[in-house]
Amino acid sequence: MRDRRPSPSLVAWANAWLTGHTGLDQAVDAIERSGPHVVGEVPLRAWLAGLRPSGLAGLRLALPAPGDPLGLSGPPEFNTAAIEAGEAAVAVLDGTAVGLVPAADLRGSSYTGTAWRVLPARTEQPDVPSLAEADRALTAAMREVTEIMTTIDDVNGQRSAVLKALRDDADSGLAPGYPARAHRVDAQACRLAMILKLADRTAGHTLTSRQALARAEALAVLDRAVRRAHVAAHAAVFEPAR
């Protein structure tokens, strides 16, 4: 149940390379598991290698949603593009930053890759939770959603799948060098993201208005907690050891 979006993979493996926990070739191979990546017109490997001498210090993950620019600090053009995509990465350099927004790169019937649009970004640290804060919020969201999503009528047909998703082991999308807690939190976020996918399969037509409201509120809480957990986990490689 790994995250299939390209931004988390780029951030995790590029940071593992920058912190000396893997080589550049291994990092790029992991990022490009589902197809080649180009940044502007430059292959990903060459782009990363070219930025290292320019002071590339790390990459930050953004998983924004309308009304919630999680991981973003501007400017507006980058924020808008990232919110439309639902994800982005920010490469932090010496005194500047570069925003990266992914899109499918479909240049032929047999070619599937990722093309990164490059936009100016701000260096200011966005308002994101620490790993400990995200862990607590995820636990609270899991309790609330478990209660709601395993009792309301329209999920009865998916109840076993919901409970299985909560019990099953899940791999984190992180790379070598991340602390064990970050791997655990990211894996739990991947597991709970499955609940959101299962909920999308049930339209809620059989619910009362009160049940529908409770369902919507619970899913909104879960979505917010999952996104924050992913962002916090992907930043944890730079958090001070405790």
Sequential DSSP letters for 145-213: HHHHHTTSGGGGGGHHHHHHHHHS----S--TTS-HHHHHHHHHHHHHHHHHHHHHT---TTS-HHHHH
Position 213 scores a pLDDT of 81
Helix pair 6-18, 209-235: axis angle to 10 deg: 20
Q: What is the mean pLDDT of residues 183-199?
A: 85
Confidence of residue 1 (pLDDT cuts 50, 70, 90): very low
CA distance 182 to 105: 30
Whether residue 86 is predicted with pLDDT greater than 90 in this model: the reply is: yes
Q: Which tens digits make up the pLDDT trace of 47-58? A: 999 999 989 999
Q: What is the pTM of this model?
A: 0.88
The proportion of the chain whose per-residue pLDDT surpasses 70, expressed as a percent, equals 83
Give pLDDT, residue 158: 55
The pLDDT of residue 209: 81
230/172: higher pLDDT: 230
More confident residue, 213 or 41: 41
Q: What is the pLDDT of residue 71?
A: 97
Average model confidence (pLDDT) for the chain? 86
Residue with more model confidence, 6 or 141: 6
> What length does the chain have?
242
**Residue 197 confidence (pLDDT):** 75
Q: How confident is the model at residue 219 (pLDDT cuts 50, 70, 90)?
A: confident
